[in-house]
């Protein structure tokens, strides 16, 4: 990180004009990106123009290129697709078309372009940039622009954001729209599962992805599909028999349904397409199962963007404007991308070349290399799928003679069951005997421990809450009984999935090792809590589902006031003392303010927020949204804030309040939480296997080192095992939160997008990273 801090206040966009366009296929979240570019651009003093209908609008000019105002992007955050329109443009592919586009931009002084689209759109933008000075010379010669105008507008700067539901672009972990498309797929799969279960049917689902199997792969992981077919991994010869054997084996195991997911570009080893009809015929012919085909089609592109896509697009939009402000004539065109949970900039053409290399590798049947080129996220998903999908017969399993117990601790969180399923199946694959403990540490000391087998966790990924049962009880008071149960069942390792109580519990177990040799076994904790308040991890299982619940509810609440007079909503969120849900939910829902414990506020700030909203409501904006974390202040309660806004807003707006409560904890887990839970628990089990071998001495397991009781967390870009004892100094135990929290850096973003003047540290931005470096460094990541 640079020594000198860099702040947004020192960056000025005065005199600059930015054009924003969406091009190619639409994707949910594009509007959030457009909104962020417009508001950040205006915030730094630049003029921002909408370029309607993509490159077609740039070529046609006229009313297609319009100046944007702050209000013109109000209420578009929650809308799917792209409000400014997108079109596939033949004219821009011709030199003549690009010449007309250059003229239209120069006439309006636009020399900064923010392009939101797929690799085709971004390649076109780069070609335009390379030709720019030549195009201006032609325009000067034909007398359409003056020599002076050509000098002033001599350099064109381009920043790209990838909007594509396929996630087919190298250089970023996630493209805008992918998470929302997964939401649509999983909603459909969950609905199909209930009908398939009723009739004992097999369903073959086709999902989008002509050249990329990401959607098929991740949705297969997220719903526990029986078989998946993707272009990057054509099945080996003889796959037909293998697949039919797997389906019939699952039926014999009392499973009433089968799900097969096929990417539309799925191929076999000789590059021949594998269609849904072909699979249906195969299943009917070989097994006689009642089989149905569902093609999801454009449903996947539709609907409102998920919380993840709104946040991703908002962060990328702000980062894109910063990149344009900092660009010099020699700066290469870059793409704002996501790595772990960080926004980074990567050279556009490096990404495009690598994306094209993937296709080339697939055409030449170098499939393993194609998977590697897709990047770490894709590779890890594929490896996890392989690990979980093919059940080995007992004779193939390594026999370890180790017993591993899994338990849930703390409040329920969506995704816990996906993590348990993954842990159980990976454990069995590694040769261990797996035990499930019911009701957390309470069930542990009462002896509610029983063996759990492969088939017992079938269908668990999509279930909300905790099927094992979970309690907040801590182990310290019952340590003797817990040690006795460890001895009775000969438990050699522990996997604890839960929230802050799980973290405290692991510390208590470790502290009791000196008295109880039974506790000297490898222990690992996987964070699962909606509050996202666990030290040592940027994210926890369940937080994404809760964010989506908050975002959906805020959308509905805002809509409830449409057509009525001006209204402000005060909404209380969960989280204990941790303001993650209020802050990130606020960013995703387009809130005007979010009050949290970590950022103390006083009556003066409340007063200025009310005045700010009053000013805003005098314009065309009709609705305001204020989020409040449940424990942000002892005295400034939700009622107090509601009454204050009501009183001060008299004559301008009226107020309503909502306490969201336990709906934030319920519901089916989001695709992200299913996937995150599955991958993180699989990694935890592999660590346990490694530690069991390491600590096996003279016929028993004895682990008494600091690094044998760990928390597995996501840190910036990687999944890291950290000894819980070392996390003590990072924890505020009184308020049950980490002392430093990464998401606090997102707060200025929310304020800027709500039109507040604020200080924003942008020191993290600005380093252009190269793709190759990006991959080598992050090999161990998620």
**CA–CA separation, 89 and 611 (whole Å):** 46
- Cα–Cα–Cα angle for 171, 176, 177, rounded to 5 degrees: 130
By C-alpha distance, which of 147, 152, 68, 74 is closest to 114? 68
Cα–Cα dist 336/321, whole Å: 10
Q: Which residues contact 17 (CB under 8 A, 6 or more apart)?
A: 46, 47, 48, 49, 108, 109, 110, 111, 112
Catalytic residue selected from 26, 60, 119, 166: 166
| Cβ proximity of 582 and 595 under 8 Å | yes
Annotation marks residue 166 as catalytic? yes
Distance CA 177, CA 620 (A): 29
Q: Strand 291-295 to strand 202-207: parallel, antiparallel, or no bridges (unpaired)?
A: parallel
SS3 473: coil
Which single residue is written with the structure tokens 């279960």?
197
Rounded CA separation 273/35 (Å): 40
**Under 8 Å between Cβ of 371 and 385:** no
The residues facing 594 across adjacent strands are 627
Give the integer Cα–Cα distance in Å for 188 and 211: 22
Cα-based angle 84, 86, 88 (whole degrees, multiple of 5): 160
CA distances from 282 to 274, 288, 493, 502 (A): 11, 9, 44, 48
Reported as type and span, the H/E element at residue 730 is none
* Contact present, 669 and 183 (Cβ < 8 Å): no
Q: Whole-angstrom Cα distance, residue 318 to residue 33?
A: 8
Tell me how far apart the alpha carbons of residues 605 and 70 are, in angstroms, rounded to a whole number: 23
Question: What are the catalytic residues?
Answer: 166
């Amino acid at each position: 990180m640079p020594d000198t801090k860099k702040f947004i206040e020192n960056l000025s966009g005065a005199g600059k004009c930015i054009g924003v366009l969406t091009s190619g296929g639409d994707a949910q979240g594009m509007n959030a990106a457009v909104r962020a570019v417009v508001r950040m651009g205006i915030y730094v003093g630049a003029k921002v123009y909408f370029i309607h209908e993509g490159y077609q609008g740039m070529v046609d000019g006229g009313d297609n290129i319009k100046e944007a105002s702050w209000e013109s992007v109000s209420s578009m955050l929650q809308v799917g697709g792209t409000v400014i329109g997108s079109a596939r443009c033949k004219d821009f592919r011709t030199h003549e078309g690009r010449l007309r586009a250059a003229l239209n931009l120069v006439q309006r002084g636009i020399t900064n372009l923010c392009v939101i689209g797929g690799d085709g759109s971004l390649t076109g933008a780069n070609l335009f940039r390379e030709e720019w000075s030549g195009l201006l010379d032609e325009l000067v010669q034909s007398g359409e622009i003056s020599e002076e105008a050509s000098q002033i507008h001599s350099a064109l700067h381009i920043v790209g954001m990838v909007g594509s539901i396929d996630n087919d672009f190298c250089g970023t972990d996630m493209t805008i729209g992918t998470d929302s498309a997964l939401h649509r797929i999983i909603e459909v799969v969950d609905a199909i599962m209930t009908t398939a279960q009723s009739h004992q049917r097999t369903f073959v689902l086709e999902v989008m992805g002509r050249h990329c199997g990401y959607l098929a792969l991740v949705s297969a992981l997220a719903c526990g599909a029986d078989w998946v077919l993707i272009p990057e991994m054509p099945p080996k010869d003889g796959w037909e028999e293998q697949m039919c054997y797997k389906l019939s084996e699952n039926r014999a195991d009392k499973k009433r349904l089968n799900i097969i997911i096929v990417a539309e570009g799925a191929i076999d080893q000789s590059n021949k397409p594998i269609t849904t009809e072909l699979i249906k015929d195969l299943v009917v012919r070989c097994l006689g199962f009642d089989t149905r085909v569902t093609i999801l089609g454009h449903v996947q592109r539709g609907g409102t963007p998920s919380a993840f896509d709104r946040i991703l697009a908002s962060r990328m939009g702000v980062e894109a404007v910063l990149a344009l402000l900092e660009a010099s004539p020699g700066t290469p065109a870059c793409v704002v991308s996501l790595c772990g949970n960080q926004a980074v900039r990567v050279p556009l053409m490096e990404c495009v070349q690598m994306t094209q290399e993937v296709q080339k590798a697939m055409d030449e049947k170098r499939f393993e290399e194609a998977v590697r080129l897709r990047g770490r996220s894709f590779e890890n998903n594929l490896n996890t799928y392989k690990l979980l999908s093919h059940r080995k017969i007992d004779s193939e399993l390594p026999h370890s003679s180790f017993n591993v117990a899994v338990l849930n601790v703390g409040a329920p969180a969506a995704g816990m069951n996906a993590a348990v399923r993954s842990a159980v199946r990976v454990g069995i694959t590694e040769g261990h005997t797996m035990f499930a403990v019911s009701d957390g540490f309470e069930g542990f000391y009462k002896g509610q421990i029983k063996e759990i087998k492969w088939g017992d966790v079938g269908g668990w990924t999509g279930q909300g809450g905790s099927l094992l049962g979970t309690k907040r009880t801590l182990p310290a008071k019952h340590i003797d009984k817990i040690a006795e149960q460890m001895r009775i069942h000969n438990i050699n390792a522990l996997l604890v999935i839960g929230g802050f109580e799980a973290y405290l519990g692991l510390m208590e177990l470790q502290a009791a090792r000196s008295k109880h040799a039974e506790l000297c076994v490898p222990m690992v904790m996987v964070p699962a809590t909606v509050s996202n308040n666990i030290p040592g991890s940027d994210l926890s299982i369940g937080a994404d589902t809760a964010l989506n619940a908050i975002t959906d509810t805020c959308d509905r609440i805002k809509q409830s006031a449409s057509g009525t007079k001006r209204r402000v909503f005060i909404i209380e969120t969960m989280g204990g003392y941790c303001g993650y849900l209020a802050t990130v939910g606020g960013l995703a829902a387009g809130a005007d303010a979010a009050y949290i414990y970590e950022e103390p506020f006083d009556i003066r700030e409340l007063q200025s927020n009310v005045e700010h909203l009053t000013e805003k409501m005098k314009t065309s904006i009709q609705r305001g949204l204020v989020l409040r974390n449940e424990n942000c202040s002892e005295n400034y309660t939700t009622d107090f804030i509601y009454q204050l806004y009501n009183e001060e807003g008299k004559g301008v707006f009226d107020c309503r309040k909502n306490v969201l409560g336990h709906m934030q904890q319920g519901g089916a887990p989001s695709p992200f939480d299913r996937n995150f839970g599955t991958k993180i628990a699989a990694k935890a089990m592999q660590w346990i296997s490694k530690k069991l071998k390491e600590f096996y001495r003279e016929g028993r397991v004895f682990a008494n080192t600091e690094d044998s009781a760990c928390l597995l967390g996501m840190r910036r870009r990687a999944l890291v095992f950290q000894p819980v004892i070392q996390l003590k100094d990072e924890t505020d135990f009184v308020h049950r939160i980490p002392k430093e929290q990464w998401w606090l850096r997102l707060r200025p973003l929310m304020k800027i997008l709500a039109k507040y003047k604020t200080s924003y540290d942008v020191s993290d931005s600005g380093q252009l990273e190269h793709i190759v470096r990006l991959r080598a460094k992050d090999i161990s990541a998620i």
